[in-house]
Amino acid sequence: MENFVGIITGCNALTGIGRATAYSIAKKNPKAIYVTDIKDSDLSTLAKDITNTTGVECIAKRVDASSDEDIKGVIDDAMKRYGRLDFFYANAGIGNAKSMAEQTKEVFTEMMVNNTWSVFAAVKYASAAMEITSSEKPKSAGSIVATASIAAARSGAGSMSYAASKAAVVNICQTGAWRLHGKNIRVNAVCPGVIETEMTRPLLEAIAKDPRKQRLAKLHTALERYGKPEEVGAMVAFLISKDASFITGQAITVDGGATAALPYLPLFADS
Ligand SMILES: NC(=O)c1ccc[n+]([C@@H]2O[C@H](COP(=O)([O-])OP(=O)(O)OC[C@H]3O[C@@H](n4cnc5c(N)ncnc54)[C@H](O)[C@@H]3O)[C@@H](O)[C@H]2O)c1
């Protein structure tokens, strides 16, 4: 990632995927990373720690990922300061645990604006900046990664509005990759399974209190555990890097094997 400049959304949560990914990307030695979030209580400590521990320039900025103005603003800042944009990780998102009956048009729209428009806006505005060339960056180039979910593929990993918002994220990455054909700008989605973060804390706490749920949760993945944010971060950092130069339009799953199986049945002697 030599000389790369890029932006990550959804980095404020202390145990979140965005924050862990900022460290995974910093390890690959880019020039600068913007760490952003709609909440900024813990962003500047993240930026300082990354700069102190890796030497990578890290800038904290409050950005609502669903706001066109905010997204354009942080991209303009990067272009003014560094003259280039090489990656954008559209990670910010919200969840809800509402039943079908509890979903309303307002709840659905809020989900789509935060989880889906945020990714569309990232592809739209970041790709325009990635096309801009200079003596330091003679050709159009860039990598956009968005956080979808295994909920994008099938039921059982989130509410209906959440799953629909993430299915649309996968499609935006596929269609975005082709809309940008010939521009050397790659667009991919990463689809995490259950990862231990603030978003899943209520669910995981409820499971931990109930031995029956605990036994079922253990069978959820082939690795018999949940994922860690840095295990998603490692995949995102790879997708952003030049090592992934022929990968575009894909949805890459990081789920401990959860989606490889039908719901578990103890069919075999060693089960
Ligand atoms: N944790 C999981 O199991 C899991 C699984 C699949 C996908 N995901 C997705 O991963 C992404 C990160 O989730 P997480 O688990 O780290 O959750 P988290 O709640 O720990 O972190 C999400 C961060 O996004 C920020 N955010 C929310 N809306 C925003 C907006 N409009 N603009 C800017 N920032 C905003 C929050 O303030 C928070 O800091 C989300 O898109 C989520 O849907 C999570």
All residues at 6 or more sequence positions from 68 whose CB lies less than 8 Å from its CB, including other chains: 121, 125
pLDDT score, position 260: 94
Write out pLDDT tens, residues 36-91.
Answer: 999 999 999 999 999 999 999 999 999 999 999 999 999 999 999 999 999 999 99
Q: Which of 197, 198, 232, 235 to mutate to test the pocket of ligand 1 (most atoms within 8 A of CB)?
A: 197
- First and final CA of the chain: distance in angstroms? 44
**Using the 8-state DSSP alphabet, how is residue 245 labeled?**
T
Q: At what angle do helices 17-26 and 43-54 cross, to 10 degrees?
A: 20
pLDDT score, position 271: 60
From first to last of its 271 residues, the chain has per-residue pLDDT tens of 999 999 999 999 999 999 999 999 999 999 999 999 999 999 999 999 999 999 999 999 999 999 999 999 999 999 999 999 999 999 999 999 999 999 999 999 999 999 999 999 999 999 999 999 999 999 999 999 999 999 999 998 999 999 999 999 999 999 999 999 999 999 999 999 999 999 999 999 999 999 988 888 888 899 999 999 999 999 999 999 999 999 999 999 999 999 999 877 777 767 6
All residues at 6 or more sequence positions from 204 whose CB lies less than 8 Å from its CB, including other chains: 194, 196, 226
Tokens of residue 135, six digits: 């003596």
Which residue CA neighbors atom 40 of ligand 1 most closely? 93
Strand order in the sheet with 87-90: 57-62, 32-37, 5-8, 87-90, 142-147, 185-192, 251-254
For residues 187 and 176, give the distance between their C-alpha atoms in angstroms, rounded to a whole number. 6
Give the position of tokens 């995102």.
Answer: 236
pLDDT score, position 223: 94
The ligand 1 atom at the shortest distance from the C-alpha of residue 194 is: 3
Residues designated as active site: 162
**Using the 8-state DSSP alphabet, how is residue 195 labeled?**
B
Report the candidate in 221, 192, 216 with the shortest Cα–Cα distance to residue 206: 216
For residues 218 and 223, give the distance between their C-alpha atoms in angstroms, rounded to a whole number. 8
Cα atoms in the 13 Å half-sphere on the side-chain side of 180: 28
Give the position of tokens 């890097």.
Answer: 241
Type of residue numbered 64: D
Report the candidate in 190, 121, 183 with the shortest Cα–Cα distance to residue 151: 190
Query: Pocket residues for ligand 1 (CB within 6 Å)?
Result: 9-10, 12-13, 15-18, 37-39, 64-66, 91-95, 114, 118, 147, 149, 192, 194-195, 197-200
